[in-house]
Amino acid sequence: MRWRDLLPFGDPRTPGRMRQWFLSRFSRHRFEILEAPAASVSELRARWQRATTQDLAHTVGLSEFVCRQAALALERAERRHRGARYKVPRFVIEEISARAPFRAGVAAYASQLGKSETQVHREAIRYLHEIAATHDPTVIDLVANLTRRIVQRGYRALRYSPDQLARVQTLAQKGPVCFLPAHRSNLDHLVLFLALYENGLPPNHTAGGINMNFFPVGPLVRRSGVFFIRRTFRDNELYKFVLRQYVDYLLEKRFSLEWYIEGGRSRSGKLLPPRYGILSYVVDAYRRGKVDEVYLVPVSITYDQIQDLAEYATEHRGGAKTRESWRWLVRVLRRLRRRYGDIHLRIAPELALSEFIARESIATLADPEETSRPIQKLAFELCVRIARATPLTPTAVTSFALLSVPDRALTAGEVTALVADLLRWAETRELPTTAGFAWGTVSQVTAVLEALVENEAVSCFRQGEEPVYLVSPEQQPAAGYYRNTVVHFFLGGAIAELALFAVRDSFLARQRTGMPVHSHEEATQEFWRVVFWLRDLLKFDFFFPDRQQFREEIDAELRRAHPDWQTLLAHADGVDELFHHLRPLLAPASLRPFLETYWVAAQAALLWGDQANENRLGFVSQCGNLARQLWLQRRIRSTEPTSRVLLQAAVDLASYHGLLGPGVDPVRRKRWADQLRAALLWLDSVAARALARFAEEVALREVPSAGFATVATPNGEPASPSSI
């Protein structure tokens, strides 16, 4: 449906009386009379009895039920002509409130709360009105057109695979589908909504925070599929009951759901720990036999650049989250005047709940809010699939390259050389990439750098011989955001690099003290001990496969560098030889901000750990001040540890290890800080080797070969002597 169809007289598919009269008199070819299938009174009464469990002789409410069934039958007849795009629920509140489980639950809560059943029923209906989406086909078309304009305003294109959406459409014919996207931008819902609309699929029922229910956003998105839920309702049992009944209804009617498994937007770029609320409701509905099957579909929505980054930068510095309002909406639309590249939508392989339940055997829970171990594993598996589907983008790879050489401005040619190493590394591992991944010339990398400069994620100095690019200390969180969207791909190699240096340092320490050197078996054991210690250390920030699979991935990673890598662990020179084959070195850009943040929190625990639990936000603020001091003293090399977002995860890690609060042995805190400091020393060793390699390669490129100057061909590649 186009703007010119909607704006003058409303939706032409549902004309008013005057337009109906006009069409019937002068444009008979433009309308068709539809007839829905008939049903006998006895059949309708049987349906009504099954739906409400009323006595067959009791007819109170039967007439209303028949009217609703007639309207729904006509709706289905219209849908066969108009398409599945407009498959929307009708009479949601009436149907839910008439169900026996709803009425029984209201009666039980009335008894529990000491209120009359009428009073509790009225309150439950009010919650239903507050939660439920109210789809309107006209508004669906209107929002689709608005979304297309918004996306085109700030982005070149929305890129996705129609085949992936066709696969989802096939799944929807078998059972309800639940979309679980990663949440990085306020545009995420609109992006998925537009992709479904363009492929003739109905809009999802999307869980949205009630903070977005403001004019004009709230009325529009509610009528196009969003249902609003409160941010916190842990102590409101009636509200939880109503929400659970609403989810049951949507699943039984096989409507598609959508919610963000992280709960809120990621301010750091990486996936956040999962929230289990709605996932627990869906699993509970399946366990109670409300549906035969549920398909969970992980979704990755990745942006070349995001317009939310200015807000995130404020929150990184400790500022308050901007409250959503009309003014906030205007600012968002104004920011979209800039160009932010492309949007990439990827749908990961689905997970059939019946298969997972058959393996994990989720036990009956007295309270669906309770988070069982299998539900945690289910959420973990969904997050792993989202991460694996996330593509490497030119912006993310370029940001990673810039951050791998900190405190130094680079020419476009130098950045291109670093990017080329990363591209080769990714191609050999068959990692998911964007459609334009076959890039890497100086001109292409320069275009990416200039886009980052335009949006203030990178600085450029142009007054010298040639432009040079630098991530300034203030810009490190912004560039780090784009790096973090793909950093999970590099973690295995980065952890292996630190473990190799741990083994090497152990060899050298034993030689200095005159102790017997490690045997091959001892060196191998030390390597894997450090690998799994780092894995456990980082699991608060990242999702890893199980220990056996992770071990196999590390082994495969090092075998690419040297088939007999384990034999090289027998002596320090062998480790040096193995490092010679590792290219590129990944640990400095991948792990430094996280390890330094953990160390800052450990140092803060030594100073103020006894009072940390009394005021957790105050302790995080103290950590930020300490991080700023340590950076000014250059005891840490990145400004990212000053971010409140990263520090919160580091404080949670320290709390998990029992290092915060009164009565903690200071020796334990000191040991924890020393272990993290040792990891940073390994990281510094890897970084020094990476910088030395980079400086050597830059020097080689600057030396003319056989008396010929190095020039560039029109496509941006270095010319060979024969072409000069």
Cα separation of 279 and 282, whole Å? 5
pLDDT tens readout for residues 368-422: 555 578 899 999 999 999 999 999 999 999 999 999 998 899 999 999 999 999 9
Asked if residue 176 belongs to a domain, the reply is yes
pLDDT tens readout for residues 35-54: 778 888 888 788 777 766 65
Structure tokens at 94: 């009436």
The total of other beta-carbon atoms located within 10 Å of residue 239's CB is 18
Asked if residue 687 belongs to a domain, the reply is yes
pLDDT at 519: 79
Cα separation of 597 and 637, whole Å? 11
pLDDT at 507: 83
Query: Whose CA is closest to 503, among 686, 690, 691, 687?
Result: 686
* Domain at 348, CATH number: 3.40.1130.10
Asked if residue 412 belongs to a domain, the reply is yes
Query: Whose CA is closest to 448, among 393, 395, 392?
Result: 395
334, pLDDT greater than 50? yes
My answer on whether 349 and 311 are in the same domain is: yes
Asked if residue 672 belongs to a domain, the reply is yes
My answer on whether 204 and 349 are in the same domain is: yes
195, pLDDT greater than 60? yes
Asked if residue 130 belongs to a domain, the reply is no
pLDDT tens readout for residues 441-500: 888 899 999 999 999 999 999 999 999 999 999 999 999 999 999 999 999 999 999 999
pLDDT at 453: 96
My answer on whether 141 and 184 are in the same domain is: yes
Question: What's the one-letter identity of residue 380?
Answer: F
- For residue 209, the SS3 value is strand
Contacts of 288 (CB under 8 A, 6+ apart): none
Residue 321 or 330, more confident: 330
My answer on whether 167 and 295 are in the same domain is: yes
pLDDT at 6: 53
pLDDT tens readout for residues 232-245: 888 899 999 999 99
- For residue 207, the SS3 value is strand
Strand-pair partners of 346: 300
The total of other beta-carbon atoms located within 10 Å of residue 256's CB is 24
pLDDT tens readout for residues 248-295: 999 999 999 999 999 999 999 999 999 999 999 999 999 888 999 999
Contacts of 529 (CB under 8 A, 6+ apart): none
Across the chain, mean pLDDT equals 87
Write out the residue range of the structural domain in which residue 674 sits: 589-702
Least confident of 298-312, 347-361, 541-555, 704-718: 704-718
My answer on whether 440 and 539 are in the same domain is: no
pLDDT at 229: 94
If one counts the domains in the chain, the total is 4
My answer on whether 268 and 383 are in the same domain is: yes
Least confident of 56-60, 176-180, 303-307, 520-524: 56-60
Strand-pair partners of 347: 299
Q: Is residue 602 within 8 Å of residue 674, measured between CB atoms?
A: no
* Domain at 406, CATH number: 1.10.10.10
pLDDT > 70 fraction of the chain, expressed in percent and rounded: 87
My answer on whether 570 and 663 are in the same domain is: no
- DSSP track, 422-461: HHHHHHHTT--B-TT-S--SHHHHHHHHHHHHHTTSSEEE
φ, ψ at 297 (rounded to 5°): -115, 105
pLDDT at 460: 97
Asked if residue 381 belongs to a domain, the reply is yes
My answer on whether 174 and 258 are in the same domain is: yes
Indicate the pLDDT class of residue 439, thresholds 50, 70 and 90: low
Instruction: Show the DSSP H helices in 223-268 as ranges.
Output: 237-252
Pairing mode of beta strands 295-303, 343-347? antiparallel
Indicate the pLDDT class of residue 230, thresholds 50, 70 and 90: very high
Indicate the pLDDT class of residue 698, thresholds 50, 70 and 90: confident
Final residue in a domain of this structure, among 389, 412, 446:
389
My answer on whether 374 and 228 are in the same domain is: yes
Final residue in a domain of this structure, among 354, 372, 389:
389
Name the pTM for this structure.
Answer: 0.87
Asked if residue 638 belongs to a domain, the reply is yes
My answer on whether 176 and 267 are in the same domain is: yes
Asked if residue 281 belongs to a domain, the reply is yes
714, pLDDT greater than 60? no
My answer on whether 273 and 324 are in the same domain is: yes
Final residue in a domain of this structure, among 389, 417, 441:
389
Query: Whose CA is closest to 243, among 258, 227, 257?
Result: 227
pLDDT tens readout for residues 72-94: 676 666 666 666 677 778 889 98
Structure tokens at 166: 């066709």
My answer on whether 414 and 535 are in the same domain is: no
Contacts of 71 (CB under 8 A, 6+ apart): 90, 91
- For residue 660, the SS3 value is coil
